[in-house]
Amino acid sequence: MPSHPHRVAHRWMIAILMAICIVFIKVLLALIDLHLIIPASPEYKARKYTDSFELLGVRGRILDRNGIVLAESVAGRDVVVDRKDPALQDKHVNRETLPIEVAQLLGVDQEVMLDAYNGTHRSRTTKIMTITDDALIQELLRRKDFSNKTNRIVGLNISDMRSVRSYPNGARLCHVLGFINHQGKGVYGIEEVFNRQLSGTNGVVTTVYDGRRREIRSKRISEIPPQHGNDVYLTIDNNIQFIIETALSNALEQFQAESGVIIVQKVKTGEILGMASLPGFKPQEYGKHEHDEWKNAAISKTYEPGSVMKAITVACALQYGVITEHTVFDVGNSGIWYYAGKPLRDKVYGRITARELLMKSSNIATAQIGLLLAAPAPDKGMPQANELLWRAFNAMGLGQKTGIELIGEEHGIFWNYKRTAHWSKLSPTRIPLGQGISVTAIQLINAYSTIANGGYLMQPTILKEIRAHDGTLLRQNRPKIKGRPLSTDVCNKMLDMLQSVTGTNPRGTGARAALPSYTVAGKTGTGQIPINGKYNHSDYNVSFIGIYPATRPELSILVTIERPRGAIRSGGGVAAPTFAAVAEEIGRYLAIPADKLPKERVK
């Protein structure tokens, strides 16, 4: 019989062997569980071996007509300073030099970083920036996990990868493009109008991880691929946009003006090649600006246009046979004309024709045409007073949205002739010369393009086409004719007469819009801005709209400058030279053939 010590040893051996067997069985069962149970089964998903992660669905790009990227989405991460990070209390951390070191690494102002680390903010965290540079992201991640505590970066949190909207040109074209809000949705501009087409959908991967949380790629359970957004191509030309924004910025500074708009349109198709509205903002910093600053003044700001309306008035009067190009108007010799007990002043005297009316910008002659247009015209099927005037201007697109593919377009203010409460006896003498009517810049340039293209009112457009992420064409935008308010004969007469404004006669109000290589048909405007229902002599919207080459029109360009404060405050002195600064350069860039002989060119 074994002694007592031997019995104890024997029992211990049995216990150890049993323990080893139990461990071995558990390992064996785990291996069977891991390798034999189907990963897609509910039993497998219920365990902690599986997890899921998203694959980024990239938002589509916005590009100009030539394929230059104006907005795109890239992968990036947010960098946040956490002032309560326990690692900041480590004795190896130098709280004075760490923020400076991080600022240098990220290219951020040192004061910003010092405040983020040491400031007394309510929140424990401060977002510093979003990084899209993969090399910098990897360096930050490496330094966060650095084993050398002296060189380790602490107090920083780096978010998971997310989609970041990038605007390579900064503030350029900001009002047309719009921006992306914190929820990833488009706001204003193309970003909002085509948000559904641009938006991508994230994919989802459900997969298996090992004990160290590393994916076992061969055991992926399911994978739903991401759907990338479509690409939107605009009619905008990025180079033309640069030209007009540069010129507009220079004009605002030179003439001490508050704001301004320049639009470039192809007269035959209605395509917008450039649309500048200043001051602007950087889409990625939209939160630093008031909501009104996000709006596109070219389509959302209404104003009394002043004398640029006179060309539309004369064109409509010719179209309806109210006048001919040879009709003579007697504006008197006093420089003042009374109607409905109110004076109308003028700088033109004597008897003048329609050509001289446009060249010298006669108020009185234009008012007389307005009265002719406002008279009942039963022979034309318009027996009511003001009906012909209203229908003629309405047919040119005034008082209604153009339908351009942008957010925030306004109708303008041009009351229907039936709403007699809004029409006074004075209205027919003031509306034709640009007072008592409010329009948008896009309405005005489209009306002038109608004169330029032979009388067709086109649908202004800023969309060229939409393509899928792989380049497949999904939608191609084609020119759309909305109506034909003018005949070819009337348009030819208008183009001829409007040339006298800009260069064929040195007395024309738009002489400073003359170009070295091209003939220009255009009209100046100096519209007083009403303040509390009254006009003053210090606040003006000054404009020039030019069509060129006048002998075979290709482009129309509108320039409007609000409230110039310098010594010069007229359309001819402010807007006309700004037009000249961009039109010649754009003509050369687009290789538009010159229509001036060398001896005719401006020296």
Determine whether domain 238-283+296-600 maps to CATH 3.60.10.10: no
CATH of 54-86+126-146+155-234, one of 2.60.40.60, 3.90.1310.10, 3.60.10.10, 3.40.50.2300: 3.90.1310.10
Q: Where are the domains of the chain?
A: 54-86+126-146+155-234, 238-283+296-600
Dist CA 430 CA 438 (whole Å): 12
Dist CA 423 CA 324 (whole Å): 27
CB 303 within 8 A of CB 438: yes
CB 440 within 8 A of CB 299: yes
In angstroms, the Cα distances linking 95 to 91, 101, 117, 124 are 10, 10, 8, 16
Range scoring the smallest mean pLDDT among 42-51, 86-95, 282-291, 424-433: 42-51
Query: Could you tell me the pLDDT band of residue 335, with boundaries at 50, 70 and 90?
Result: very high
| Torsion of Cα atoms, 431 then 435 then 437 then 440, to 10° | 120
Q: 378: cis peptide before it, omega within 30°?
A: no
DSSP at 196: H
How far from chain centre, in Å, is Cα 161?
28
Place of tokens 């010649």: 584
pLDDT digit string, tens, across residues 509-559: 889 999 999 999 999 999 888 887 778 778 889 999 999 999 999 999 999
Range scoring the smallest mean pLDDT among 19-23, 476-480, 496-500, 577-581: 19-23
CB 90 within 8 A of CB 43: no
Query: Could you tell me the pLDDT band of residue 153, with boundaries at 50, 70 and 90?
Result: confident
Query: Which residues face 541 on adjacent strands?
Result: 527, 562
Dist CA 524 CA 508 (whole Å): 9
pLDDT digit string, tens, across residues 345-399: 999 999 999 999 999 999 999 999 999 999 999 999 999 999 999 999 999 999 9
In angstroms, the Cα distances linking 569 to 23, 347, 505, 572 are 93, 16, 22, 9
Q: Which residues contact 316 (CB under 8 A, 6 or more apart)?
A: 373, 389, 392, 393, 396, 485
Length of the chain: 603
Q: Is the pLDDT at 46 greater than 50, yes or no?
A: no
DSSP at 433: G
- Three-state SS at 526: strand
At 262, list the tokens.
């320049």
pLDDT at residue 435, rounded to an integer: 93
Region 196-225: mean pLDDT is 79
Q: Which amino acid is at 566?
A: G
Of residues 199, 167, 194, 170, the one with CA closest to residue 183: 199
In angstroms, the Cα distances linking 232 to 63, 103, 251, 304, 464 are 6, 37, 31, 34, 8
How far from chain centre, in Å, is Cα 244?
14
Dist CA 337 CA 331 (whole Å): 8
Q: Is the pLDDT at 45 greater than 80, yes or no?
A: no
Q: Is the pLDDT at 226 greater than 60, yes or no?
A: yes
Dist CA 272 CA 296 (whole Å): 14
Instruction: Provide, rounded to the nearest whole percent, the portion of the chain with pLDDT above 70.
Output: 92
pLDDT digit string, tens, across residues 463-509: 999 999 999 999 999 999 999 999 999 999 999 999 999 876 677 88
**Of 309 and 128, which is predicted with more confidence?**
309
Q: Is the pLDDT at 43 greater than 60, yes or no?
A: no
- Three-state SS at 540: strand
pLDDT at residue 203, rounded to an integer: 79
